[in-house]
Each structure stands twice: as structure tokens, then as C-alpha cells.
Amino acid sequence: MSHPTPTDSEVPDFQRVHLQRLKLAADVILGEGPHLPIVLESELSIYRERIECALLESVTTVVDS
């Protein structure tokens, strides 16, 4: 039994869904605001920015294809 292989345009969509979920999780945790240690808040902010960059790259890849 063979499984269908995804096309180039399907992979970024799949990745984008997971990246959006990670971004949402970071937003929820950052929403706790004053209850977070400053170090954790800083790391999460950096992580969130990297996720946003990856989301932008995945959109650019789909548009350029």
C-alpha cells in the first residue's frame, strides 16, 4: 500500500498550521504577564519572533512557487 506524497505547496501549509499553534501557545503564556519571570518572558518573546519569521517564510515560499 503506497501513501500519497505531498506536493511542494502542501508542506508549507502543514508547517504553517503547527507554527500558528506554537505562536498561539507562546501568546497564551506571555498573556500571563506579571506572573512570569523576566527571563522566561524574554525567551518566549524571542521564540515567538522566530515563529513569526518562519510563518512569513512559509507564506513567501508558497507565493513564490
pTM for this predicted structure: 0.65
- How far apart (Å, rounded) are the C-alpha atoms in residues 2 and 20? 30
Q: What is the mean pLDDT of residues 51-62?
A: 77
- Output b/e per residue, 8-39; b: 16+ Cβ within 10 A: eeeebeeebeebeebbeebeebeeeeeeeeee
**The predicted structure's pLDDT at residue 50:** 94
Span 5-50, pLDDT tens digits: 444 444 467 788 899 999 999 999 999 877 889 999 999 999 999 9
The residue among 22, 31, 29, 28 whose CA lies nearest residue 49 is 22
**The predicted structure's pLDDT at residue 6:** 47
**The predicted structure's pLDDT at residue 54:** 86
Q: Where are the domains of the chain?
A: 10-64
**The predicted structure's pLDDT at residue 47:** 95
